[in-house]
Amino acid sequence: MPTDPVLVVHGGAWAMPDDMVDAHIRGVTNALATGWRVLDRGGSALDAVEEAVVIMEDDETFDAGRGSFLNRDGKVQLDALIMDGATLRAGGVGCVEHLRNPVRAARKILSESPHVYFVGEGAEKLAAEHGLPLCKNEDLVIPREVARLREYQAEAAQHGNDLFAPTISHDTVGAVALDRNGNIAAATSTGGTLNKAPGRLGDSSLIGCGCYADNLSAAVSTTGWGEPIMKLVLAKWTADRISAGNLPEWAAQEAMNHLKQRVNGHGGIIVLNPQGHFGVAHNTPRMAWAYKTVQKQEAGIAREA
Ligand code: ASP
């Protein structure tokens, strides 16, 4: 019997200021519409999360694709992962500098390569060999981010900034989906953290940290301060709570409690199981999220536990 599809997306978790709320809601809603079209016509969860994430990578509101935060050297360096819950196949790219849509490269790795993870030039070469266009790094840099980095570095030189304050924006994007065949998938894409050291890789593109999908447990995508999330392998930790018999709503909230209590981390998470139950939780002041089921669609910037 066909399953009713479900799609959940996020566009980062942080103390998002009021004047950025509309752009975030618009962005996640657009991503939701595109991903839903795939599911609605019987497409796979894998295609749906890829297409939803591409929309947010293309939207300069978010820290993914063009418009991402700049690293210490003023460059955009992108990470992305996509994972198929039916087969456990996954594709990840790290520290790519010449791809507008790193999730597309991650998908090529998942579909076309015997390997799972590529970084830097090797990832870009593989993407180009599979027909994805390469761009200049400057094409990914926007004036807003040049100004933001300059301001951040000036402030840090004077006062020493708290790199990991929850007020620092975390605009990573992600999606989890359930398709009509009962399969789930997840994808996460990011420009990482502002002023990061070149070559630094965060949680987003690491299997089990910022993204995970297994039909036997759940599809998960996280956002937030990457280092603590990595230490807890948080996406897999959350999926394990589901396979132990807990509901995604509970597991999502529990993951945020665990993140705070164990390593003083902050962020947000979306979780979906193959039965179509899902959870959205964050321990930051706000998180951009949206979901759609056959019955209902909602988007918001805060989610009560
Ligand atoms: N988790 C991402 C990272 O640390 C950042 C984010 O979610 O905004 O790379």
The answer on pLDDT for 2 being more than 90 is no
Residue 57 is predicted with a pLDDT of 98
What does the pLDDT average to over 250-272? 97
Q: Which of 169, 193, 283 to mutate to test the pocket of ligand 1 (most atoms within 8 A of CB)?
A: 193
The answer on pLDDT for 302 being more than 50 is yes
The answer on pLDDT for 243 being more than 60 is yes
- Structural domains of the chain sorted by starting position, each given as residue range(s) with its CATH number in brackets: 6-303 (3.60.20.30)
pLDDT tens digits, 113-124: 999 999 999 999
Centre of ligand 1 from the C-alpha of residue 40, in Å: 30
From the candidates 34, 172, 190, 223, give the one annotated as an active-site residue.
172
Residue 170 is predicted with a pLDDT of 79
pLDDT tens digits, 149-164: 999 999 888 877 665 5
Task: Please report which residue ranges of 100-176 form alpha helices under DSSP H.
Answer: 102-112, 120-129, 143-159
The answer on pLDDT for 166 being more than 80 is no
pLDDT tens digits, 125-138: 999 999 999 999 99
Pocket flag, ligand 1, residue 170 (CB < 6 Å) = yes
pLDDT tens digits, 45-62: 999 999 999 999 999 999
Residue 15 is predicted with a pLDDT of 86
The answer on pLDDT for 167 being more than 60 is no
In the annotation, is 34 catalytic?
no
Q: How confident is the model at residue 169 (pLDDT cuts 50, 70, 90)?
A: confident
Q: Tell me which residue has its CA closest to atom 4 in ligand 1.
A: 226
Pocket flag, ligand 1, residue 224 (CB < 6 Å) = yes
Pocket flag, ligand 1, residue 63 (CB < 6 Å) = yes
Q: DSSP assignment, residue 19?
A: G
Q: Model's pTM, two decimal places? A: 0.96
What does the pLDDT average to over 54-80? 97
The residues, ordered by sequence, that sit 6+ positions from 256 with a Cβ below 8 Å of its Cβ are: 267, 268, 269, 281, 282, 283
Q: Which of 68, 173, 190 to mutate to test the pocket of ligand 1 (most atoms within 8 A of CB)?
A: 190
Residue 155 is predicted with a pLDDT of 86
Residues 258 and 237: beta-carbon distance below 8 Å: yes
Centre of ligand 1 from the C-alpha of residue 158, in Å: 25
Q: DSSP assignment, residue 216?
A: T
Centre of ligand 1 from the C-alpha of residue 131, in Å: 28
Among 155-164, 195-204, 274-283, the range scoring the smallest mean pLDDT is: 155-164
Q: How confident is the model at residue 234 (pLDDT cuts 50, 70, 90)?
A: very high
Residue 289 is predicted with a pLDDT of 97
Atom of ligand 1 nearest to the CA of 200: 9
Residue 305 is predicted with a pLDDT of 43
The answer on pLDDT for 168 being more than 70 is no
The answer on pLDDT for 210 being more than 50 is yes
Tell which residue, 48, 51, 58, 63, has the closest CA to residue 11.
Answer: 63
Pocket flag, ligand 1, residue 192 (CB < 6 Å) = yes
Pocket flag, ligand 1, residue 77 (CB < 6 Å) = no
Q: What is the chain's mean pLDDT, rounded?
A: 95
Residue 164 is predicted with a pLDDT of 56
Centre of ligand 1 from the C-alpha of residue 26, in Å: 21
Pocket flag, ligand 1, residue 24 (CB < 6 Å) = no
Distance CA 251, CA 126 (A): 36
Q: How much of the chain exceeds pLDDT 90, in percent?
A: 90
Centre of ligand 1 from the C-alpha of residue 283, in Å: 14
